[in-house]
Chain A
Amino acid sequence: MLEIDDLWVNIDDKEVLKGINLRVPVGETHILFGKNGSGKSSLLMTIMGFERFQVKQGRISFLGQDITQLPIYERARLGLGLSFQRPPTIRGVKIADVLRVCSRGAIVPEVLAATYDFTQFLDREVNYGFSGGEIKRSELLQLLAQNPKMVLLDEPESGVDLENLQVVGAIIAQLLQKDRRPQAREKSGLIITHTGFIMDYVNADKGYILLEGRLLCSGNPRDILQDIKQFGYEECSKCRR
């Protein structure tokens, strides 16, 4: 579904991604681990096409189409969906309005919100005064409305309490069609996590460590997480190289 070849990316004059190669097949969920500032969010933002992330070299293709130069909204319309780690506040714009526009009229915001106990937020301004958990639920609800083929989740569990984590996990599992057999899944995911909590809800297929803009290793995500916990990032990346 997603193929990245030799991707080099700058923010202003600083190299943030250095030769990334990555494949996420249809129906698979992959996990990105890495220290703060290692380039994980930059990778997701680059895949989504944010202007600040300048591709200097390499290629991103999605569903067989080269999207390296496509504007953000065309990538979204092709089926890429991003849950932001720290989304902006948009004063005056209501959650219900965003749900309506991002589904392009395909869903009724009231029905969707009622299903996920989010009704009281429909008339709230986007992310204004939201708690960490509310932000994540709002992000995921928008993705449900958008119904992407591939979801990019930037730390979906950060700032979320245990009660909300269950809700967040359940929505992500639904987005990724985890209720289906692996061969029947049509949706893919690329998830950034520090704690790995989200893996209790999403049975991920593959994990990577990203360090200083480079993908240093890949493997079973639970094994990688265990190694990180035991040895730290530096040691883990050395032994799994």
Chain B
Amino acid sequence: MSEIRERAEQSRGKKAAFGRDLNLEDFSRQGGAWEYDPDYRQFSPEERSRLLTAGIELTDEDHAGTFLQADKAIVHCQTRQPGLEVLPITEAASRHDWVNDLIWGLVAVDADKYTAAAELELDNGYFIRALKGAQIAQPVESCLYLRTDRFAQHVHNLVVVEEGASLHIITGCATHPGVISGLHIGVSEFYVRQGGKLTFTMVHNWGEEVHVRPRTAVMVEAGGTYVSNYLLLRPVKSVQMYPTVTLNGEGAVARMQSILIAHPGCELDVGGRVILKAPHTRAEIIARTLAIGGYSMARGHLVGLVPDIKAHLECRGLILGNGVVHAIPELEGRVAGVEMSHEAAVGKIAAEEVEYLMARGLDEEEAVSTIVRGFLNVKIEGLPPALEEEMELAIQESGQGL
């Protein structure tokens, strides 16, 4: 047995450091045997509509590459631009020897029972690579889809942006309209080589009883940039994730933005950590959480290990009606010469702000929506129009019934 496998075996029952503990045996490992679908013909209008709200357009048009995994099955995988490689990770591992050296290079296989499960019972995942110098203008669309109720999906994703390359991935994670419960475990390891740029936009639209445990780590080399956008607008049972970005080379940059809505019954424990290990690295974490009855733990952690780094953490929570937002911003400077700051605020909408806008002729609902829209107004480049509409809808629904 390999050392990695052995460590995974030993961690089968290991609880995660954060978030509600799950019994993996409560979920099924019997996913549907979905066929490969080059034209997306197997998707009903309801499924298409559902996937659209997760930013998945089910078309190869306007995408440099596409990847769609339903339960365990790779349903669609295509590359349309030179300099880009999109493959199931199992196929990538057999095609390139070096892929195995990168797998579990950033995330510890024995971190918890979820990482262990991804190693011991892998259901594939995507491999996306932008070759040296390739400027991939259109986004790559990837989708991890739960199509069977109570299924536990275990995926491992690997992204490599080689030297000087540029890539934008839009990952939509969603459930079939008929799926209520399930579990998604997604290990993701991203390597941004020297001078490369990766923009990673992840949209979650899960079922109301679905639990989600992403385990993500990113390494950025000198002069590289990593931009992460995370949107969770719809109800989910629980999400626990704490992606970690390591800025390893001089001048590397990370920007992590998240917009979360905690619906009733929802438990979110979402954070972002950036470790600044090289001079002149910069990091920014921006989190906006809107609680409309649910619970949200918003974590953020900046670690400055060398002088001449600059980092800022902004964590703001808004509670509409009821709900909990618990913000824990952490700044950890290990040497003199670091410049790190944070801004955290949690509160409700001030009545004077609502009345101010009402004095401009907006009724109460319009005023609240305007304030919520402003609160969630984090500029995300390259968002598909359907997602912008989805955000607008979520904002309007959030302000109702106050």
Cα-based distance from A98 to B366 in the complex (angstroms) = 11
A130 interfacial contact with B, CB 8 Å: no
Q: Give chain A's interface secondary structure class.
A: mixed
How far in angstroms is the closest Cβ of chain B from A41?
13
Q: Is A76 an interface residue (CB 8 A)?
A: yes
Q: Is the CB of A97 within 8 A of B370?
A: yes
A214 contact set on B, CB distance < 8 A: none
B374 at the A interface (CB under 8 A): yes
- Chain B residues with CB under 8 A of A50: 355, 359
Q: Is the CB of B356 within 8 A of A88?
A: yes
State how many angstroms separate the Cβ of A156 from the closest Cβ of chain B.
15
B316 to chain A, nearest CB (A): 8
With A50-B355, A51-B355, A101-B370 already in contact, the answer to whether A73 and B364 are too (CB < 8 A) is yes
- Assembled-state Cα–Cα distance A77/B360 (Å): 8
Shortest distance in angstroms between B319's beta carbon and chain A's nearest beta carbon?
A: 15
CA distance A81 to B356 in the complex (A): 11
- Do the beta carbons of A92 and B362 come within 8 Å of each other? no
B330-362: which residues lie under 8 A (CB-CB) from chain A?
A: 350-353, 355-362
Whether B359 and A76, one on each chain, are in contact in the complex, defined by CB atoms closer than 8 angstroms, is: yes
**Known contacts being A88-B356, A93-B370, is A77 close to B361, with CB within 8 Å?**
yes
> Measured between C-beta atoms, what is the minimum distance from B399 to chain A in Å?
13
Report the Cα distance A178→B190, complex, angstroms. 65
A125 touches B355 (CB 8 A): no
Which residues of A lie under 8 Å from residue B360 when comparing CB positions? 76, 98, 101-102, 142, 146
The residues of A that contact B353 with a CB separation of less than 8 Å are 88, 90
Judge whether B370 and A73 touch: CB under 8 Å: no
Number of interface residues of B (CB under 8 A): 24
A87 to B356, CA, bound (A): 7
Known: A92-B377, A94-B374. A146 touches B361 (CB 8 A): yes
- Interface assignment of B371: CB less than 8 Å from any CB of chain A: yes
A91 part of interface (Cβ distance < 8 Å)? yes
Cβ contact within 8 Å between B361 and A76: yes
User: Is the Cβ of B371 less than 8 Å from the Cβ of A90?
Assistant: yes
Q: For residue B371, give the distance in angstroms from its CB to the closest CB of chain A.
A: 6
Nearest-Cβ distance from residue A189 to partner chain B, whole angstroms:
16
Contact pick for A102, options B351, B361, B373, CB 8 Å: B361
Whether B370 lies near A51 (C-beta < 8 A) is: no
Task: List A residues 78-108 near B (Cβ within 8 Å).
Answer: 81-82, 84, 87-88, 90-94, 97-98, 101-102, 104
Interface residues of B (CB under 8 A from A): 316, 350-353, 355-364, 366-367, 370-371, 373-377
Other A-B pairs beyond A81-B359, A87-B356, A101-B366, 10, CB < 8 Å:
A51-B351, A71-B358, A73-B358, A73-B359, A88-B356, A92-B374, A92-B375, A97-B370, A101-B362, A146-B361
Selected A-B contacts with CB under 8 Å, 21 pairs: A48-B359, A50-B359, A51-B351, A51-B355, A73-B362, A73-B367, A76-B358, A76-B360, A76-B361, A84-B356, A84-B359, A88-B350, A88-B353, A90-B353, A90-B356, A90-B371, A91-B316, A92-B377, A93-B371, A93-B377, A125-B374
Q: Report A's interface with B, CB cutoff 8 A.
A: 48, 50-51, 71-73, 76-77, 81-82, 84, 87-88, 90-94, 97-98, 101-102, 104, 125, 142, 146
